[in-house]
Amino acid sequence: MEIKQPLSYPYSPAFHALLRAGLHLKLLQQVHAHLIVSGYGRNRALLTKLIKQVCAARSIEYTRRLFLVTPDPDSFLFNSIIKATSKFHFSLDSVLFYRRMIISLIRPSDYTFTSVIKACADLSVLTLGRGIHTHVLVCGYGLNIYVQSSLVAFYAKSGDLDIARKVFDRMPSRSLVAWNSMISGYEQNGLAKEAFELFEQMWKMGVEPDSPTFVSLLSACAQMGALGLGCWVHEHVVKNGFDMNVVLGTSLINMYARCGDVEKAREVFDSMSELNVVTWTAMISGYGTNGYGTEAVELFGQMRILGPSPNSVTFVAVLSACAHGGLVDEGRWVFASMSDEYGLVPGMEHHVCMVDMLGRAGLLSEAYQFIRELVPGSPAPAVWTALLGACKMHKNFVLGVEVAEHLLSVDPENPGHYVMLSNIYALAGRMDRVEMVRNIMFRRCLKKQVGYSTIEVNQKTYMFSMGDKSHPESNEIYQYLDDLMWRCREAGYVALPDSVMHEVEEEERDHALRYHSEKLAIAFGLMKTSHAVAIRIVKNLRICEDCHSAIKYISVVANREIIVRDKLRFHHFKDGVCSCLDYW
């Protein structure tokens, strides 16, 4: 601004250099003032350039004011402001400017649609996005590669994968952005298998993946517990010289940790030149979920000294590690430091971790008192659920029934509460109440979530559910499992029928226990892999007590390491011992 003479003519190179520089808002306001005093205060071309910079400076209010004083907005101005507001995440304003553009009878271009569709994706407004899609077709941009890529990303992010795939399949040529959007859409919606199938198609067509492709694939591997595929991705990243940036590195850490290979996750962590709070948190969480509570707390201590300040997610990770590791004193200290040292307000997730930690340690009275002292308002159902699980673990049926009945009053549509209450009633010998709970579930059409387990063999994932016989080798798998369980019984295994909901008959419970999904998956894995290979299972629900006991025996009679990732954590079984020390 000290170069006054060249600025006397607003079309000078010096003036445009200032606008391109992305100035601070106050300086941009001075530029605006200079335009006014120079007689160019309503010059549309100059105001359009100024509007883009003001939006980049994140002042949406000033952006709107500048737009309102611009005479006769043309398509260039509308496209510029719609693109800028979408780019800098003023998504609602982007949609509103698009609407104003339509009202002004100015025809949108492909640039308009790509920006406003991105805004719809950020807002997750499926109905509005569909309307804009219709307008895309009316305006003749239905085959435009950039607009189609934006539509694929929008539908995938909004969860409408059927339409996303239809748009994708109809593209005459597909950009890498479109491939990545579709792959990411599958992964974000829990369809990891479909994500990899699409990647295989992409690979066969000779489309070269980039870093975002691998981030999505690693996330899919983490979901499936597909360590073999994850290792292949890692090898490809290294072999082709991709930059191990913080996003890709963190994805690798998360993949290895969620596949049960904590040592490899730590190798990646130690090799990274840049670590942010997400990276530290991923490694701490990896330690915690795999049963390395002490290591998680130690790494948290290093983060306090060497790393960025922990955030609320970091505290959830370390408190969960303390809960699963029985580290009560450490957990109390971590929880206190959250507010005392970092000024963070504990949320529901932190309260759940504390109740879980105290409850698992048998400190039920302290856990109950902790809940009662929570303010303001009534604690979230998840907090009571944590206490309920502890009551069942420690067989405190009096408190368990009280907690379960309270849960049903505040969250009556959750079938999991009814299942837990039914089991607690049964363990307490209250079979009349078991029948009552079963009848309530029947009247409300509530069903227990179906459990399933997956296993990766030779980079292919297989899924099993209880009693499932869809696999072409089912007869062999069942025979192998029967022989395996006979060997386990010879070694001392005794079935725990209380692991099955007590609303079913005894014979059905025995059958359900024998052919739980994780047992079927393990039997298949033992059949199909060599003796030196660890068996890795992923289950969508928590592992039951009977399966937990059985797998300890299987690890002995089969002389094989077995790693099971359930809904909450990892269980590393070896030589008859689990890494959770029966504390889960």
Helix (H) or strand (E) holding 572: strand 570-574
Q: 471 and 444: one domain? A: no
| pTM for the predicted model, two decimal places | 0.78
Q: Which of 427, 448, 469 is the last residue of a domain?
A: 448
Q: 397 and 373: one domain? A: yes
- As a whole-number percent, the residues of the chain with pLDDT over 90 amount to 48
Of 49-58, 204-213, 499-508, minimum mean pLDDT range? 499-508
Q: What is the CA radius of gyration of the chain?
A: 29
Looking up residue 440, the CATH number of its domain turns out to be 1.25.40
Q: 460 and 442: one domain? A: no
pLDDT of residue 502: 45
- 407 located within any domain: yes
pLDDT of residue 412: 77
Three-state DSSP at 574 gives strand
Q: 444 and 457: one domain? A: no
- Least Cα distance to 98 among 71, 129, 142 occurs for 129
Residue 30: pLDDT over 80: no
Q: 456 and 438: one domain? A: no
Please state the domain count of the chain: 3
**Binning pLDDT at 50, 70 and 90, where does residue 377 land?**
low
Phi, psi of 245 (to 5 degrees): -75, 175
pLDDT per residue as tens digits for the range 294-326: 999 999 999 999 989 999 999 999 999 999 888
**Binning pLDDT at 50, 70 and 90, where does residue 503 land?**
very low
- 200 located within any domain: no
CB 297 within 8 A of CB 312: no
- As a whole-number percent, the residues of the chain with pLDDT over 70 amount to 92
- 153 located within any domain: no
Residue 506: pLDDT over 60: no
pLDDT of residue 429: 76
- 439 located within any domain: yes
Work out whether the CA dihedral 7, 12, 13, 16 comes out positive or negative. positive
Question: What would the two tokens of residue 67 be?
Answer: 């737009």
Of 70-79, 226-235, 491-500, minimum mean pLDDT range? 491-500
- 175 located within any domain: no
Q: 456 and 418: one domain? A: no
Question: What would the two tokens of residue 538 be?
Answer: 């992923």
- 214 located within any domain: yes
| Higher-pLDDT residue of 2, 201 | 201
Q: 478 and 537: one domain? A: yes
Q: Which of 405, 421, 448 is the last residue of a domain?
A: 448
Residue 10: pLDDT over 60: no
| Higher-pLDDT residue of 409, 107 | 107
Report the 3 state secondary structure along 105-116: CCCCCHHHHHHH
Q: 379 and 476: one domain? A: no
CB 47 within 8 A of CB 76: no
Q: 490 and 554: one domain? A: yes
What is the DSSP track for 455-512?
EEETTEEEEEETT---STTHHHHHHHHHHHHHHHHHTT----GGGS-TTS-HHHHHHH
**Binning pLDDT at 50, 70 and 90, where does residue 436 land?**
confident
Q: 459 and 544: one domain? A: yes
pLDDT per residue as tens digits for the range 262-285: 999 999 999 999 999 999 999 999
What distances in angstroms separate CA 518 from CA 400, 403, 462, 544, one per listed residue?
28, 30, 12, 10
- 411 located within any domain: yes
pLDDT of residue 8: 46
pLDDT of residue 280: 98
**Residue range(s) defining the domain that contains residue 517:** 452-578
**Binning pLDDT at 50, 70 and 90, where does residue 11 land?**
low
pLDDT of residue 549: 93
Q: 261 and 246: one domain? A: yes
Q: In what order do the strands lie in the sheet with 535-539?
A: 460-465, 452-457, 535-539, 562-565, 570-574, 577-578
**Binning pLDDT at 50, 70 and 90, where does residue 5 land?**
very low
| Higher-pLDDT residue of 353, 242 | 353
Q: Which of 413, 448, 483 is the last residue of a domain?
A: 448
- 243 located within any domain: yes
Whether the bond into 172 is cis, omega within 30 of 0:
no
Q: 427 and 460: one domain? A: no
